Amino acid sequence: MLEKLTMYRLLTALGVLASVSLLAGPCAAGQPTDKTVMLVMAPAGPVLAEVNITVDGDPYQMWVTRFLAKTIDTNRDGELSVSELQLIPDRLVAQAQAGSPKRMMRKASQDKSATSVVADVFHAWFSQQLDRGFNVVAGAVQASEAVRLAAHIDANDDGRISEQEVRNAVYTMRFRDLDNDETFTASELMPFRDPRNQQAAVVPDAADLPFLQLTDQQTIQRGAEKICARYGDGSSIPLDSLRLPETAKFDTSKDGRLQVAEIVGLVSDCPTHLTLNFQLSDRAGRSALTVDLPDTTDFCQFNGESRDRGRLIIDGMPIGLRAYGGGKGTRSIMVNFVLQYVSGYDSDKNGYLSEDEFPQMQQQLAQIQVNGSFQDVDMNNDEMVNREEIRNYIERDNIATQSRIDVSVKQDGKTLFKLLDVNSDRRLSRRELQTGFAALAEYDLSKDGQLTEEELGTAYALKISLGQNEAMRMSSMRNMNMQTGSTDAILPGLSGLEGPEWFRRMDRNQDRDVSQREFLGPRDVFARLDKDKDGLLSAAEAAELDAEQR
């Protein structure tokens, strides 16, 4: 009977392990769980990159669940009971959509009468239940560099900025003027954070960055629409725009162009221009990065700078790549930080914490964004919480965090906002938008009256790493704010303004101009003073009025 049971478990394990290599979404057939496709909106055409992510040689979800299964197997018998499955963090249980640990056990073992499940069988099944989306977060940049102004004012979404689009920016961005002061600050236009919540994480749609992960039919449809808007007429693109071999077979209408629906079919079929391999390691300094470029992808170049980083150049647009691991070190820091308080909370000095002594430790855990009751931490239910149980609980909670992949996107180089903000006060005034395009003429290398990010020298940095604990992320954000300074506008104050006193007092937003809305006199007087008819009164125009009165 024992041999039959062992054989049954072995066959079940093999069955689950064989099925774990399928990925829901694009490129589903026969692809391992660590593959996804990313769309890069490059200057000359869209680029599809296959992204492979492993952790210590395993698909990252498999690595997470193997680590978790090993940690909750408290008696080290290779079997997981219901009580052991109850040690899995709630946010991971919710992803399994099983309702309870008992149902998870029965689903994983495929046996409704099971009282336990083989640890390897469970971790293989559980890895299939975890979310596979990226968690896109902001990289540390200066406020003026974080603003992707081009994405806000590119009215026709063609990836080029014309003089008229810059002039129309006051109207195009009118709903982004949250304080209604007729200027646009860096914090109002910040892609990475809502100005009312400086710690909010970035998502691709909100950031309007030229990267989009294609995970399902909805994101594929959105990607196809963005491709047509950027490189075509809004509904289709020429066949050669995709720069992929055998694209003609997807042209079902035989008109030499690809419609949105045809692009969806092509992307779903999973042809890609290049492959990015991010080989992460739980140990610091062990991660690696490689890039596979087919001979047909001559518009891409990759320069490896070290084992874990390099520079990918697509159509002249540089993208810094980095694979970043080291989760084990982060967990150790958090564990050691908490354990130093155990002896202080152990009031009777008996070597463990009772339920009465635990509240202080619970508050300490909350400081590192780890929440758990006495019963949660007391793994063996002996009504005593020791140092090892605290260590295991923190590691389980953090491994739940690392079940996702963080993609940190950072914009470098010259930006349209920074070039137009001539007085560096971290905001754009009406005058800067109305007259600023002339100062950008030197960057118009093609002399077509339009600017691209390639001409401006804009660059990006893309870092892929294991998910970071929220406490550590908040600490990093605080450090970033200390390094980059405030995102608020820099106001000169009345003493820093020029012109007559009445002019300086009317200039309520202190942008060194008085708009018609700020002007307190009759409309016909404003029109008479506005000599150049640009809708703004300058200090020089105001001074002329004072001269006339004298």
Q: Which position has the higher pLDDT, 251 or 136?
A: 251
Q: How far apart are CA 221 and CA 268, in angstroms?
A: 10
Instruction: Return mean pLDDT, the chain.
Output: 80
Region 227-249: mean pLDDT is 90
**99 pLDDT exceeds 90?**
no
State residue 15's pLDDT score. Answer: 37
Given a contact cutoff of 8 angstroms between Cβ atoms, the answer to whether 168 and 178 are in contact is no
Domain locations along the chain: 135-214+406-481, 225-271, 494-549
Q: How far apart are CA 78 and CA 416, in angstroms?
A: 58
State residue 412's pLDDT score. Answer: 67
Q: How far apart are CA 212 and CA 199, in angstroms?
A: 22
Find the DSSP H helices in 130-237.
Answer: 143-146, 149-153, 163-167, 169-172, 186-189, 204-207, 217-231
374-to-121, 127, 160, 393, 395 alpha-carbon distances in Å: 30, 28, 58, 11, 16
- Hey, what amino acid is at 476? S
Given a contact cutoff of 8 angstroms between Cβ atoms, the answer to whether 303 and 291 are in contact is no
At 30-61, the pLDDT tens digits run 444 467 888 998 888 999 999 988 888 888 78
Q: How far apart are CA 221 and CA 267, in angstroms?
A: 9
From 30-34, 111-115, 221-225, 501-505, the region with the lowest mean pLDDT: 30-34
Q: Which fold has domain 494-549?
A: Recoverin; domain 1 (1.10.238)
From 35-49, 201-215, 279-293, 462-476, the region with the lowest mean pLDDT: 201-215
State residue 238's pLDDT score. Answer: 93
Q: How far apart are CA 211 and CA 356, in angstroms?
A: 51
pTM above 0.85, yes or no: no
State residue 201's pLDDT score. Answer: 37
From 131-135, 277-281, 308-312, the region with the lowest mean pLDDT: 131-135
Q: Give the closest residue to 337 by CA, choosing from 398, 380, 403.
A: 398
At 355-386, the pLDDT tens digits run 999 999 988 888 877 888 898 888 888 899 99
Q: Which residues contact 148 (CB under 8 A, 6 or more apart)?
A: 191, 207, 208, 209, 411, 415, 417
Helices H, strands E: what count in the chain? Answer: 26, 22
Q: Give the chain's largest Cα–Cα span.
A: 112
State residue 16's pLDDT score. Answer: 36
The residues pairing with 451 across neighbouring beta strands, listed in sequence order, are 161
Q: How far apart are CA 415 and CA 149, in angstroms?
A: 8
- Structure-token match 């002249």, residue found: 316
